[in-house]
Chains A and B, each alone.
Chain A
Amino acid sequence: MRALGRINRFWWQVTGVLVFNTPFIGPNHYAWLTVPALNCYACPLAQGACPIGTIQHFLVIGVIPLFAIGVIGVFGAVAGRFYCSHLCPFGFFQDLIGKLSKKKIILPHWVGYGKYVSLVVLAIIIPPLVEEPFFCTLCPAGSLEAGIPIVGGAWIETKFGNADIFSSSMSILSMVGWWFWFKIGILAGMIVLTLKVKRPFCRMVCPMGALLGLFNRISLFVHPPSEKAATGKGYFLKECPVHITNPHDVDSHNCIKCEQCYHRPGE
């Protein structure tokens, strides 16, 4: 894993975007696999199934999602939140937006528990009660990867193409209401927050990050070499993409195992 870590994380992330959202081949070639990242399966390019969407779907139909939990568990046991830093398309999006502003606010450590509230309340308790994947109805990754391309594409087709009144584009546009704009507002708010806070969604909201974070300290791929863990010194946390400031929090549920703290800045 250390050797793999020497490959620039940017290229890992580009690969993650292309593997989970492959253009030109059509959607969902491995729809049976719940991917180890928050990647919306309603995206027109999506391959694989969103793990949180899948779990919610099963809870709505009253079935415990053993297969999805098993797949997430295997991914987690192997590498914890490694996927968040190296493969997750929405994490990559936040990293890119975050580069637009240098000054960032340091949030208290406890805000990281927000993602467990999000997992339990929005993705586990509410969906069976309202009989729909409630987290998805709020998810900014869904707005970015599915809402904007699908509604935008339908709008372009009706405006510049030859879509008739019975076309799917027209029916999609007819369904756009205040909730769509509310979701876009959540995405816009997340983008603004990302300018001031490093990876706010991953740290405070992401239920997938919450699940994978449970495995962070026990996964096969563990961050700190023993001598560093013992002393708690020797990390270069200035560049940490999730603003971990205490060496003892490396490999905590907030850590996304990016390995940047292994290297001196500029190394």
Chain B
Amino acid sequence: MTKKRKLASAIILTGIFLALIAFGVYREEVIDVVTNATLICFSCVGIK
């Protein structure tokens, strides 16, 4: 793959993923990400 094509494909890919992020923010997923990350994960600790 030439450098230009590689750069172009990386930019397109990044654009697609940035659009996913934007849609996720629009759907208010970030609130759920924060809530999930700040609650203690019993599965991770190994206790039930």
A and B bound? yes
Residue positions of A touching B, CB distance < 8 A? 27-28, 31-32, 34, 40-42, 46, 48-50, 53-54, 57-58, 61, 63, 65-74, 77-78, 132-134, 136-137, 139, 142-143, 146-147, 150-151, 172, 175-177, 179-180, 182-184, 215, 218-220, 222
Given A32-B34, A63-B29, A220-B7, A69–B45 Cβ distance below 8 Å? no
Residue positions of B touching A, CB distance < 8 A? 1, 6-7, 9-10, 13-14, 16-25, 27, 29-30, 32-34, 36-38, 40-48
Residues of A contacting B45 in the complex (Cβ-Cβ under 8 angstroms): 42, 142, 146-147, 150-151, 172, 180
Q: Is the CB of B21 within 8 A of A70?
A: yes
Residues of A contacting B41 in the complex (Cβ-Cβ under 8 angstroms): 40-42, 53, 133, 136, 142, 146
Cβ-defined partner of A70 (8 Å) among B10, B19, B43, B47: B19
Q: Is the CB of B18 within 8 A of A133?
A: no
Q: Which of B1, B33, B34 has the most CB of A within 10 A?
A: B33
Q: Is the CB of B24 within 8 A of A73?
A: no
Residues of B contacting A218 in the complex (Cβ-Cβ under 8 angstroms): 1, 6, 9-10, 13
Q: Which residue of B lies closest to A186 (CB)?
A: B46
Q: Is the CB of A74 within 8 A of B14?
A: yes
Q: Report the minimum CB–CB distance from A160 to chain B (whole Å).
A: 21
6 examples of A-B residue contacts, CB within 8 angstroms: A63-B29, A70-B23, A146-B44, A175-B47, A180-B45, A218-B9
Q: Is the CB of A54 within 8 A of B36?
A: yes
Residues of A contacting B18 in the complex (Cβ-Cβ under 8 angstroms): 70, 74
Q: Which residue of B lies closest to A139 (CB)?
A: B44
Q: Which residue of B lies closest to A46 (CB)?
A: B37
Q: Is the CB of A69 within 8 A of B43?
A: no
Q: Which 6 A-B pairs have the closest CB atoms?
A: A67-B24, A73-B17, A70-B20, A70-B21, A142-B44, A49-B37
A221 and B13 alpha carbons, distance in the complex (Å):
14
A136 and B39 alpha carbons, distance in the complex (Å):
14
Q: Report the minimum CB–CB distance from B10 to chain A (whole Å).
A: 5
